[in-house]
Structures are given as C-alpha cells and as structure tokens.
Amino acid sequence: MKINKNYLNLEASYLFSTIANKVKAYSEANPGKHIIKLGIGDVTLPLCKDVVIAMERAVLEMGVQDTFRGYGPEQGYDFLKTPIKEYYSKHNVSLDIDEIFISDGAKSDLGNILDLFDTDNTVLVQDPVYPVYVDTNIMAGRKIKYLNSNAENGFLPLPTENDKADIIYLCSPNNPTGAVYNKEQLKQWVDFALENNSIILFDAAYECFISDETLPRSIFEIEGAKKCAIEFCSFSKTAGFTGTRCGYTVVPKDLVYEDTMINKLWLRRQTTKFNGVPYIVQKGAAAIFTENGQKEIMENINYYKENAKIITDALDKLGIWYTGGTNSPYIWLKCPNGMKSWEFFDYLLNNVQIVGTPGSGFGENGEGYFRLTSFGSRENTIEAMDRLLKHSLANV
Amino acid sequence: MKINKNYLNLEASYLFSTIANKVKAYSEANPGKHIIKLGIGDVTLPLCKDVVIAMERAVLEMGVQDTFRGYGPEQGYDFLKTPIKEYYSKHNVSLDIDEIFISDGAKSDLGNILDLFDTDNTVLVQDPVYPVYVDTNIMAGRKIKYLNSNAENGFLPLPTENDKADIIYLCSPNNPTGAVYNKEQLKQWVDFALENNSIILFDAAYECFISDETLPRSIFEIEGAKKCAIEFCSFSKTAGFTGTRCGYTVVPKDLVYEDTMINKLWLRRQTTKFNGVPYIVQKGAAAIFTENGQKEIMENINYYKENAKIITDALDKLGIWYTGGTNSPYIWLKCPNGMKSWEFFDYLLNNVQIVGTPGSGFGENGEGYFRLTSFGSRENTIEAMDRLLKHSLANV
C-alpha cells in the first residue's frame, strides 16, 4: 500500500504549541502573575438561552419513541435551511433551499470541497493566510501561488494578471488581518474569476461582525458571483458554536464548470461521505434565527465588538497601526519600534503578561505583525489594555 | 477550473428512491393497506435514558459561563476515548488512547481515511457490498477489484492469490449479508494483508450484535492486525445514534507503510479538515459506557435481536435459505422459487405488503437475494412474519 506522499510535504505547525510552551514556562517561572490570553480564536461567552432551550427540547425528543429521529438528510433539515435562506434574502441574496448545505463547520467543508476539483488546478491564497487553505491543498498535491497582502494594499490585495489561478481563496472579514473587502473590491475578484474560469472559495465565517451596512456580508451580494463562487459560513463565531459544531455551505446551481453542476457533485460527495449534522445541533442552530435568538446572539457579538473597540482605542492612543477591529473580531497590529513578531510576543508576555499570536505564524508577510482577538472576557480585555497603556511602549 | 472527473464515473444509485417510488405508488393505489417496512438500516427505538440525561446536562453546561466548552480536541475528548479503550480491553484488545479517534460516524471516516492513501492503490471489495466503499474509491479514481461473496462460500469469501490488492475492505458482521467471519477466517485475511503489504479497512459498525463469544468483535483480536488494519465503529446501531452522529476509528501506532506512521497522518488529516464531534454528543456517547448505560443499550440491542429471531424462525418454517440474523441485525435470504430480487420485492409488496431491500442493489452477486432488517418495531415484525407464514409462499 502506497501512502499519499503529498502529506510528507506538509510543514509541521508549531505556532500554537510554541505559544503554549512559552506561556507555560513564563507562568512556572512567575507563579504570581496573571496572564491574559488574547491570542486564540475561540469564543468565551456561553450559548444563548434560546439555543440551550431548543437543544434541551431536541434531546428530550430523541428519548421518546414518537419524536425520535434517526438518519436525517445529509444536506440538513429544512427547518434550518429555511431560516438561513431568509437570512440571505434580508441581505438581498436570493437562494434556493437546495443551494444550502448544513455542515459541521466551515473548516470541514473548506477541506472537503476540494474533493470535487482536479488536483491539477492551481490555487491562489493570500499571505498572511489561514493555514487550512494551504495545508488542505498540499495534501492533494496542488500548486499554490501566494498573493502579497500587506500594509501597502491595506491587507486587501486585488487581482492582477500574475494572479491567475483555478481556485481562489478569499476570507472577508479576514483571518488573521481583520481587513474587509468592500463591494467594488469584491466585484474585481468576481470579474477576475469569471474572466479566467476560476472558482472562488469564499470564507464568510466572520460576516456577523460587519456593522458597516455598505460592506458585503456575502459574496453573493456581488453580481456574477453565483457563477463563480462557493460560500462557507459557520455559527462558531456568530453564536459561540465552536464546541457545538454547525455551519453551512452555499453552492449555487449556476456554478457550472466543464458542463458539470458543482451543486450536484457536492450533493453526491455529501451523501456518500457524510451523514449530516446531529438533529439536536441543527435544532439549536435554528433557534439562532428566531426573533429572540437574533437579539441574544447580537448581544454576544456586540460584547466582542466592544472588546475590539477597547483594544483599538488603546492602540490609537499608543499610535500603533492596525487593521480590523471594527467589522471583525481580529485586530492585526504592526509591532512597535520595528520589532519582529516573536520579539513582540516575548516582550508582551514578559512585561505586561499579555498573550497574542505572532503574525509571522500566518505567513512571510505577517512578520512584524501581531494578532489580538476580541474573544476574551470584558474584564481581561480592559485589564490588558490598561497594562499596555500604563507600560509606556516607548520603553521598548 | 477543472473538476475531478472521477465523479463522472459514479453510477447514480436509484435503489432506495426506486423502493420509495414503488411503495408510494402501491400505497396510493391501495389506501387501506398497512405496509410494513423492513428494508432500511435505520433504528426505531429512541435514545436510552442515560444518554438523554447526559446530553441534557451537557446542553445546560454549554449555556453557563463556567462550564461552557469551545473548541475541543479534534480527535475527541478523553472522557469518551477512555471508556472505549476499556471496552476494547474487555475483549482482550489493548489500545493506547491516542489510537482512538472520535468521529461523526463510520461512514464519514470510511470515506475520509482514503485521503491518506495514494490514488494509485488497488482496492478489493466484496460483491455484494456496502456501496460507500465503492463510490468513495471511484471518486478518487482508484482501480477496484471485486471478490465474489456468494452462497458457495457462505458469503464469507477468503483471499486467494488473485485477490491481491493494496486496500482491502472487510465488513463483519456484514452489511448486507449479515454473515460474520470467525477468528480463523479473519486470521487468513490478516496474514494475507501482512504478506502483501496491504491495509485492511475493517468496518465493525455491527459488532454489538455479536452474541457468540467465539466470534471476533474487533479485527484487533487477531494477531498481527495492528500492523495492517484500521477499524471503524459507530454508535449508530449500538445505541441508536443514527441521527445523533458519533462513532470512532482505531488507527494503531504499529501501522507503518513506507516508513510512515498512519496514525500520525490521520491525526494531521483530522486536525486540518475536522473540528471534532459536538461536546454534547460526546457526553451522550460516554453515557453508553456506564454500567447502567450498557444495561440500557443491551436491552435495545436484544429487542432488535429478538426481532431478528422472529424473522429467522419464520424463514426456517418456510424453508427459506438465509445468512445473518443471529449475530447481525440483517437477514439475507434467498428469494424463493428462483425469483429475482426485484421480482420478490414486488411480490412481497403486492401480496403481503412487506418492504425489504432487493439484494441486486448491492452488487451482481446479490441478484436473487433479499435483505430484511430487524430494526422495525416488534409489533410490525411479528405482523409481517404472520403474513408471510399465512400467505403460503408455495403460491409463488
């Protein structure tokens, strides 16, 4: 038996384990110090009440003969797909219900979708990048091209002739930079994809953080996108589902390559290699879309957005350059005084006991940058920024 | 963008939709008739009490700040992996905890595992076969060899020189035939795999139906299997989790091909393309392994096993040949009087209003055979067999 040797080309990622080790070492050497973690992308607020009630009910249903549910549709229940369809229509995107596929999260489907595409396709990702886009394509042996995302282009690069590729990843609001494409910029990407017969894999996992009504939450707000894009979304950040696992993928029926409907290929993939998301979890996700559910999750999202404002206010006072923070849970800052990413990591840990993520962990263009997240508690976020402000960074 | 053209080689499976259409047509033409469905592989009993209680608690935990859980380990929580490890040790199989990976079901992992293997490998499946083994390999463009499983070999074929292949699928207790390999037979497969550097993908989804203590529940009961096999199991049939979605995959650390530990490759695959099973669901699954949980699920399994006995007793009286039914939820019978599978399907539907699955839907060797399942209700199973016995099949 021959293994898939592409796996041997994967680089081991030590980013988060290195962070954990450094934090552990510091913590052991300085047992009295309170370390504040603003590095990871996981949420901290619990599930909202309506989601809990809906899941409790669903659990009880599963224990009673008459309401027990066995195998559900692999592509998800209509009781969840219907409110998602309505959510899109509020943003002027009209979808058919069979263009929506319920998933166990954006990460799974972002990897699994690649099943449908020839390994001979070239892939375009931005640097810095969410590592999953890169690793899943290395696993399949695809050629990867990198597009510079940097301060000059505001971490929102636009396509040029050099960037032609078959599969294009876009993430907006971006992880890790927090930058958000506007409609005109996204239109350039859609036109570029249509001209070059490319497909765009649009990661919309952070769309719920967009407050600016002029910014697109979905690529399907852009004309022509249904002919060249698949959208991945998740309830992880929208409703704190990181440990509950539910999201959705939108595959328009207008998406046709080599005379083949991608929607049909995906349905075939899912019915063959997937058995759907738990009934209980889908019931919980559906509760997000009730009037009260929407109110509750907006309270949580606003809590994180206020955290982001606390962080960006502090950075403004300190004169530190950043992207994100307004329509995104991530704040991507330039390390002060020309420090490198890991240098700044050590500096913050040692001087103010704040943990963030070194930008260089997301790619070469991340060097000299640093990611903070707004997913911490209010108390910790305030305390961390107080420490930053009190500790004059001029000392660096 | 070029699609994965292997998908175009998939044959559309109309098996279950054809059944549904025939049943619908009959039902509309004969509105008064009570149709009994013993065709599908879905369970009918609700989740047992301890599982419900555990999931209720977990749902409540998720709604409270202090007990909320975000991202969990992709490979599953130790609170579930530990009792699985203990379950194996009861059957004299010693596993390390990091050889166990919690999945959202055997079907997902049976498809996803193929990521790790070169597309150039040849695949051996048995005919009749669970269609997922075939389709997932067609999607990847692998060459598939078929091994005849038939009445002559008791639907338990053993390997010969002609059957050399890189990837070998075994399912025992078998779907669809219900046949179960004994240790000596399984040893032949393990030796064959070791000799030929093959890997066995062992589908143990129905292991809980084995009552005969001499029959192996796990391929790892066979010496040498840890060097050549991966095992897939599921709580779908064990505890009625078809709509709750949880299973596990055992990848031994001794499994090494081309100097590469398959366990490490799988961990890399799962951490990159998967985000774990919902905390709530894992808590429910862990409750299966408590003393009371085991008692409760055994009651359910015995309920289905008694259904199987009711079916096989009737077949015995009618002198109909079958496999399965004793250590399996499936009964695989030879259609009486030389009828073909679909002929017998129509005959049963029209004369006694019983719905089963035509064996020809599982492969060429299934022609002339028919699958019944024990997953119906007791009442329906008794009623169906009464009808069969009263309706002298001599009339056929």
Per the CB < 8 A criterion, the answer to whether A347 and A336 are in contact is no
- When scoring A3, A6, A64 by the number of chain B Cβ atoms within 10 A, the one with the most, hence best to mutate, is A3
Alpha carbon distance A372, A378 (integer Å) = 14
Q: Is the pLDDT of residue B228 over 60?
A: yes
Distances (CA, A) of A133 to A125, A137, B119: 7, 7, 21
| Of residues A49, A68, A274, nearest to B46 (C-beta) | A68
Express each pLDDT in B306-333 by its tens digit.
999 999 999 999 999 999 999 999 999 9
Would you state the pLDDT for residue A200? 98
pLDDT band at A393 (very low <50, low <70, confident <90, very high): low
pLDDT band at A315 (very low <50, low <70, confident <90, very high): very high
Confidence (pTM)? 0.96
Would you state the pLDDT for residue A16? 85
B269 token code pair: 């695959």
Would you state the pLDDT for residue A63? 98
Would you state the pLDDT for residue A61? 98
pLDDT band at A60 (very low <50, low <70, confident <90, very high): very high
Interface contact A47-B70, CB threshold 8 A: no
> Residues A47-69: what's their mean pLDDT?
98
> Residues B3-8: what's their mean pLDDT?
97
Would you state the pLDDT for residue A17? 85
Interface contact B70-A44, CB threshold 8 A: yes
Interface contact B2-A257, CB threshold 8 A: yes
Interface contact A166-B118, CB threshold 8 A: no
Would you state the pLDDT for residue A395? 54
Q: Is the pLDDT of residue B234 over 60?
A: yes
| Of residues A60, A115, A260, nearest to B52 (C-beta) | A60
Interface contact B62-A43, CB threshold 8 A: no
| Of residues B52, B197, B279, nearest to A63 (C-beta) | B52
| Of residues B49, B64, B69, nearest to A63 (C-beta) | B49
pLDDT band at B16 (very low <50, low <70, confident <90, very high): confident
Interface contact B117-A265, CB threshold 8 A: no
Alpha carbon distance B107, B115 (integer Å) = 14
Would you state the pLDDT for residue A394? 53
Would you state the pLDDT for residue B395? 54
Interface contact A52-B63, CB threshold 8 A: yes
Chain A residue with minimum CA distance to B54 = A59
* Mode of pairing for the β-strands spanning A330-334 and B357-358: unpaired
Q: Is the pLDDT of residue B396 over 80?
A: no
Interface contact A279-B69, CB threshold 8 A: no
Interface contact A274-B107, CB threshold 8 A: yes
Alpha carbon distance B275, A41 (integer Å) = 13
DSSP string for residues in B246-264: -EEEE--TT-EETTEEHHH
Interface contact A272-B240, CB threshold 8 A: no
| Of residues A59, A104, A242, nearest to B56 (C-beta) | A59
CA atoms within 13 A on the CB side of B271: 13
Residue A51: partners with Cβ closer than 8 Å, 6 or more residues away: A239, A284, A285, A287, A288, A293, A296, B63
> Residues B119-146: what's their mean pLDDT?
97
Taking the CB of residue B338, how many other CB atoms lie within 10 A of it? 10
Q: How far is B39 from chain A, CA to nearest CA, in Å?
A: 14
Q: How far is A199 from chain B, CA to nearest CA, in Å?
A: 7
Would you state the pLDDT for residue A396? 53
Interface contact B273-A112, CB threshold 8 A: yes
> Residues B87-96: what's their mean pLDDT?
96
Q: Spell out which residues of chain B touch residue A47, defining contact as CB-CB under 8 Å.
A: 62-63, 68
Alpha carbon distance A311, A388 (integer Å) = 10
Q: How far is B391 from chain A, CA to nearest CA, in Å?
A: 31
Q: Spell out which residues of chain B touch residue A277, defining contact as CB-CB under 8 Å.
A: 245
Interface A–B counts its CB contacts (< 8 A) at 234
Interface contact A118-B4, CB threshold 8 A: yes
Q: Is the pLDDT of residue B392 over 90?
A: no
| Of residues A70, A104, A132, nearest to B104 (C-beta) | A104
Express each pLDDT in B336-385 by its tens digit.
999 999 999 999 999 999 999 999 999 999 999 999 999 999 999 999 99
Chain A residue with minimum CA distance to B110 = A273
Interface contact B272-A118, CB threshold 8 A: no
Interface contact B107-A199, CB threshold 8 A: no
A224 token code pair: 């022509």
| Of residues A115, A257, A275, nearest to B105 (C-beta) | A275
Residue A123's φ and ψ, nearest 5 degrees, are -125, 135
B158: exposed, middle or buried (Cβ count in 10 Å: 0-12, 13-18, 19+): middle
B330 token code pair: 């499936």
Alpha carbon distance B376, B69 (integer Å) = 37
Per the CB < 8 A criterion, the answer to whether A280 and A59 are in contact is yes
Interface contact B281-A276, CB threshold 8 A: no
Would you state the pLDDT for residue A383? 97
B38 token code pair: 């013993």
Would you state the pLDDT for residue A203? 98
Closest C-alpha to A39, from A389, A342, A363: A342
Q: How far is A320 from chain B, CA to nearest CA, in Å?
A: 31
DSSP alpha helices (H): ranges in B288-376? 291-318, 341-352
Grouping H, G, I as helix, E, B as strand and the rest as coil, residue B145 is: strand
Chain B residue with minimum CA distance to A2 = B118
Q: Is the pLDDT of residue A178 over 60?
A: yes
Express each pLDDT in A111-131 by its tens digit.
999 999 999 999 999 999 999
| Of residues B257, B276, B279, nearest to A1 (C-beta) | B257
Alpha carbon distance B117, A384 (integer Å) = 47
Alpha carbon distance A84, B352 (integer Å) = 44
Share of residues in chain A with pLDDT > 90 (%):
95
Cis? peptide before B176, omega within 30° of 0 = yes
Chain A residue with minimum CA distance to B139 = A115
CA atoms within 13 A on the CB side of B291: 0
